[in-house]
Amino acid sequence: MADDLNRRIDLSGKVIQISENNFWQRGTRLNLPFSAVLSDTVAAAVSQRGATITVQEVGRKPLILVGTYGSEGSQLTINIQVRRMGETASRDIAVARAGLPEAALERAWFKPEFDRVARTLIRLLEENYPGPDYHIQVEISPLQPGLSDQPPLLIGEEFSKFLETAVAGSALFGASGLGQKRADCRLEGTYVRAGKKMNFHVRISDVEGRRLSSAVFDVRLADIPTNLLKPVSEKAFVGKGTATISHQCRPNEKPCPSKSVLIGRALRTAKMLAMRDLGERAGINMNSISMVVSGRLKADKVVTKSHGTLRNLQYLEPVINGDQMSIELIAEVD
């Protein structure tokens, strides 16, 4: 691919920005670990042909190398472009394409890693930025809940650290650190849980509050470490319940119900046990747990009476591991 680019534009003496932020999976826009592998490999090949590689863009109309990759049958197809950035429009001045047999590639390179979502968002912010200025210094703030009834989660502070790492490889933005002059712009955002996904919305605004760029990206809850979905509040408690799926067949049931029914019962049982565990940790009494006997619910209807007020109850995604169903419950206790 580097040879193809070289035949089109003569790479010798060119200064080109290349970063793992610049590569993502076609269709999903996920920045997978393969993005880092591809970035390093392409940067080395382009450098061998006389180009100078930089992480930050250089000049008023800098060159950047971007690309995508995706499966086509048994092949991983890679597209890369050298793009000349302009004040009003950008133009691809060289394009190359190649394919690799997927069977020869490491599977781990294509497994999503949550911290790399920040790289996708930074790339989207770069693409959505319409202004002529480059090397924009931004102050990064922790993400906040997007809905007033959702408690602040640990993910807000942690994700801001991921954004700092991603900005370090940005072609356009830079993070304002200690000892530097105050940044002219602020990078902030929100997260909102919607069904089985978490919606991230980030934006860059100037000192007067004018929005310069924004980006939105959804992540499956199953791809987010569960410890980051726990609340920041000191009043918050986490309870965990685990139930055996095959054990949900009641003694008087012959034959046993289908597995889907047993899974549903195991989930309800695990939720009740998570509530009991939360109650014990929070020091409140929940009479509903008497409904769980020998790891099974005595009935399909449960009446809960608790001494204490629970707020912002939130069950995390259930996890099935073999014959075990487990789930965590988060709540604030008054």
- Residue owning tokens 């009003």: 88
Determine the Cα–Cα distance for residues 317 and 196; give it in Å rounded to an integer.
8
Q: Which pLDDT does position 94 carry in this prediction?
A: 94
Q: Which pLDDT does position 334 carry in this prediction?
A: 66
Residues belonging to the chain: 334
User: Which helix (H) or strand (E) segment is 123 a member of?
Assistant: helix 117-128
Q: Which pLDDT does position 178 carry in this prediction?
A: 43
Whether residues 120 and 195 fall in one domain: yes
Whether residues 252 and 186 fall in one domain: no
Cα–Cα distances in Å, from 98 out to 29, 40, 127? 19, 16, 24
| Number of continuous H segments (helices) and E segments (strands) in the chain | 5, 20
Whether residues 138 and 60 fall in one domain: no
Q: Which pLDDT does position 132 carry in this prediction?
A: 63
Determine the Cα–Cα distance for residues 70 and 68; give it in Å rounded to an integer.
7
Domain-ending residue, one of 208, 227, 246? 227
Domain-ending residue, one of 194, 227, 260? 227
Q: How many domains does the chain have?
A: 3
Whether residues 104 and 120 fall in one domain: no
Whether residues 58 and 121 fall in one domain: no
Q: Which pLDDT does position 179 carry in this prediction?
A: 46
Whether residues 118 and 223 fall in one domain: yes
Whether residues 258 and 326 fall in one domain: yes
pTM of the entire structure?
Answer: 0.68
Domain-ending residue, one of 110, 135, 164? 110
Q: Which pLDDT does position 127 carry in this prediction?
A: 87
Residue partners of 89: CB distance under 8 A and separation at least 6: none
Contact 72, 99 (CB under 8 A): yes
Domain that holds residue 76: 2-110
Residues linked to residue 185 through DSSP beta bridges, in sequence order: 138, 206
Ranges of the chain whose pLDDT falls below 70: 56-60, 86-89, 132-134, 176-182, 234-235, 285-310, 334
Whether residues 303 and 248 fall in one domain: yes
Whether residues 38 and 104 fall in one domain: yes
> Angle CA(186)–CA(190)–CA(191) in degrees, nearest 5?
150
Q: Which pLDDT does position 279 carry in this prediction?
A: 81
Whether residues 161 and 246 fall in one domain: no
Contact 23, 68 (CB under 8 A): yes
Whether residues 195 and 128 fall in one domain: yes
Residue 249: CATH number of its domain: 3.90.470
Whether residues 302 and 201 fall in one domain: no
Residue 17: CATH number of its domain: 3.40.50
> Angle CA(277)–CA(283)–CA(284) in degrees, nearest 5?
85
- Residue owning tokens 């999903």: 28
Q: Which pLDDT does position 227 carry in this prediction?
A: 84
Written in H, E and C, the secondary structure of 32-83 is: CHHHHHHHHHHHHHHHHCCCEEECCCCCCCCEEEEEEEEEECCEEEEEEEEE
